[in-house]
Structure 1
């Protein structure tokens, strides 16, 4: 490998994983632009393809959440139908088959199998049926929807929906646990506030729950917000009968599993499987962690997923699928393709493996605990 490529690998990893290592004279805004620009440059270049080659797996799992006609108005908590169509077209042009999780496992075990992709949608949003399914039907593309019990029963503490509504409906909001007051004059300021508060919460269940008094003070009913956007039992049962749809587990309460004790964490996983199987009248084999980063789920949670009877567990660790993942099937990586807007280069970096190469300093291509 050339001197240029070796040093580009080192710089790319340092910048994307730890922007603080960039000289202090470089402003924070410029660091963000450099980080984004590097992914843009590598995601659309022959050099990027060369660097990404060992990170391109046999398969790829893509993650979506809400599908919005008005992405900006919904504070970028989802992507547009047009973006979903672009992703499907890109997968088709790459020659990847779009398959179910069961077919993915079979192909990982078959050295002669064709490359594939799995499309996953988290949380049971009604717009997945209204806006996503017609597009998937055009492409004949199967989807897997991971559903938390509490979204269907309206009992989940959907703090992210409460936070969005709070920021949408008010021009000024005080978040007492953060000791911060946000002035919300326009869409950019609302989006910035959402990002800052979400980063502050991180994977801390206590911080998320600390928002309850704020929601109460502003008269926000989380069950009503959930009912506005999520399928109920009747809708989910009907949706599950579609030939392109697979339903998977997503915990009972959609909480940070790492913040629960052993018994509570296992129960939150296992009870969700029992609920969905009873409701749908069939086996539910696949699972996704509601928060799939290193700090939110690990070896303990992975063991509980298998013990509950699931065949797979999908994280949000960046990476593609390799045959070695058959030995760690409850810690499978996913790439997020459902954020507000992806440029062609950003999409390319997820489809060819470059994204994992960058965020891991060109470390192990096979994502697991990290």
Structure 2
């Protein structure tokens, strides 16, 4: 009870400070706190695993982005090497083999095959090679990296990197498009601001684009930020040659596909496949949507992924893999395991299928078939 009382007091203080923007922020924060509390309770009890038994599939696909030694200094965008090692240890304890997407499709079709997990990393970050790969080598665990063309060429509009740089370099920021002035007094306020702007953008490309004047006013160069953190062509080619590494597609521009017209959406997918295959001189068979929620991709995008020649397409919708996914392989779920400071209960929920049960209020265990 004291946990909720303390947060209610804090929310009341925020409301007094910001009577206009406060209610929306508090509503979102309360939802997050409620969901987090429910997930912790569910994951820490044996009842959670028992109730979620029907949601535990043959496989689970886990998603990561950046891997940081200094998670707080990077505003919790990514997770630590220790967290990655904890996830791999938990998979081993669960009896799940870490395999490639190619092997996963074979196992889904074979009732006698063992349970498995796929480790996926999005966007082509350099720390995936320097920090993640050595840990994966310890476990003999393959990884799949989904690479957008624009991150390699430095042409993507990586607005999330711009926001991080903005909030780390300023104590007060005005986001004109939001009509908000954000005070960034400490790490918690910077983290909160990053979440607020991210939630505001959602899957709206226009809102992300509306941040460009703010970045320009603060002399923030997105290409320079990408160059600091992402692999270039030479590095991608070298990385792809590692026996544990599979490279997959992730669009050309890393934009919201659902906001593009038919021709542009297909081109953004197909051109990325062509670019990576030319760069690596090998087939690129697997794909992940940059924004994989229901509002960001659906049947249209899945058809374009299939038409471009990909064999699989991974969303960010919660859930495990079941044999039924063989009928819609371009709309398969993934569980996020790469957010900062994931608790043991949260990891348990992702590996047991409990998170899917909670997200759907005990609805359909098989995600992505509609």
Shared fold, TM over 0.5: yes
Tell me the residue number matched to 1:178: 178
* Distance change (3 Å), C-alpha of 1:114 and 1:153: same
- 1:182 is paired with a residue whose SS is strand
Alignment of 1:327-338 (within 5 A): 327-338=327-338
Q: CA offsets per residue over residues 296-354 of structure 1, 9 Å max, x none?
A: 00010000000000000000000000000000100000000000111111100000000
Q: Distance in 2 between matches of 1:154 and 1:366?
A: 37
Tell me the residue number matched to 2:98: 98
Q: Distance in 2 between matches of 1:294 and 1:369?
A: 11
Q: Distance in 1 between matches of 2:301 and 2:331?
A: 9
- 1:73 is paired with a residue whose SS is helix
Tell me the residue number matched to 1:250: 250
Q: Distance in 2 between matches of 1:309 and 1:30?
A: 43
Tell me if the contact between 2:321 and 2:366 (Cα under 8 Å) persists in the aligned partners: yes
- 2:37 is paired with a residue whose SS is helix
Tell me the residue number matched to 1:241: 241
1:35 is displaced (CA, Å) by 2.4
Tell me if the contact between 1:172 and 1:183 (Cα under 8 Å) persists in the aligned partners: yes
Q: CA offsets per residue over residues 162-207 of structure 1, 9 Å max, x none?
A: 0110001000000000000000011000000000000000000000
Tell me the residue number matched to 1:156: 156
Q: Distance in 2 between matches of 1:301 and 1:35?
A: 30
Q: Distance in 1 between matches of 2:30 and 2:248?
A: 41
Q: Distance in 2 between matches of 1:353 and 1:130?
A: 31
Tell me the residue number matched to 1:23: none
* Distance change (3 Å), C-alpha of 1:51 and 1:308: same
- 1:248 is paired with a residue whose SS is strand
Q: Distance in 1 between matches of 2:116 and 2:44?
A: 21
- 2:73 is paired with a residue whose SS is coil
- 1:118 is paired with a residue whose SS is strand
Alignment of 1:24-35 (within 5 A): 32-35=32-35
Tell me if the contact between 1:55 and 1:353 (Cα under 8 Å) persists in the aligned partners: yes
Tell me the residue number matched to 1:270: 270
Tell me the residue number matched to 1:9: none
Q: Distance in 1 between matches of 2:195 and 2:206?
A: 18
Unmatched 5+ stretches in structure 2: 1-25
Tell me if the contact between 2:173 and 2:182 (Cα under 8 Å) persists in the aligned partners: yes
* Distance change (3 Å), C-alpha of 1:153 and 1:349: same
- 1:194 is paired with a residue whose SS is helix
Alignment of 1:1-370 (within 5 A): 32-368=32-368
Indicate the RMSD between aligned Cα atoms, in angstroms. 1.2
- 2:265 is paired with a residue whose SS is helix
Tell me if the contact between 1:298 and 1:369 (Cα under 8 Å) persists in the aligned partners: no
* Distance change (3 Å), C-alpha of 1:103 and 1:169: same
Tell me if the contact between 2:320 and 2:367 (Cα under 8 Å) persists in the aligned partners: yes
Q: Distance in 2 between matches of 1:117 and 1:283?
A: 22
Q: Distance in 1 between matches of 2:83 and 2:123?
A: 19
1:38 is displaced (CA, Å) by 1.6
* Distance change (3 Å), C-alpha of 1:131 and 1:33: same
TM-score (norm 2): 0.92
- 2:145 is paired with a residue whose SS is strand
